Amino acid sequence: MYGTTVFAVSLFARVLVENPQLFKWSLLFKAFPGLIVMILGNSLYSGINQIYDADIDRVNKPYLPIPAGNLSLKQAWFLMTFYLLASLLILWLMNADLITTSIYCLTLLLDFFYSAPPIRFKKSPIATSMVNSVSGGILRVNGVLYATRASLGIPFQWRHNIRTFPTIYGPRNTTFFCTGILLVNCIGAMVLAFSNPQVLISSFL
Average pLDDT over residues 54-68: 87
What is the reported pLDDT for 75? 93
Per-residue pLDDT tens digits for 113-123: 888 888 888 88
> Domain residue spans in the chain?
2-203
Q: Which residues pair with 159 in a beta bridge?
A: 162
What is the reported pLDDT for 160? 47
Q: Which residues pair with 162 in a beta bridge?
A: 159
Overall pTM surpassing 0.85 (yes/no): no
What is the reported pLDDT for 86? 95
Per-residue pLDDT tens digits for 73-91: 999 999 999 999 999 999 9
Say if residues 190 and 119 touch (Cβ distance below 8 Å). yes
17 falls in which pLDDT band (50, 70, 90)? confident
Per-residue pLDDT tens digits for 85-109: 999 999 999 888 888 888 888 888 8
* Percent of the chain predicted with pLDDT > 70: 85
Per-residue pLDDT tens digits for 121-178: 888 777 777 777 777 776 777 777 788 888 777 764 445 454 556 656 676 777 777 7
What is the reported pLDDT for 89? 95
What is the reported pLDDT for 196? 66
**Residue-wise burial string across 159-180, b where 16 or more C-beta atoms lie within 10 A, e elsewhere:** eeeeeeebeeeebeebbeeebe
Average pLDDT over residues 47-52: 90
Those residues with Cβ within 8 angstroms of residue 117's Cβ, 6 or more apart along the chain or in another chain: 52
Q: Give the Cα separation of 94 and 98 in Å (integer).
A: 12
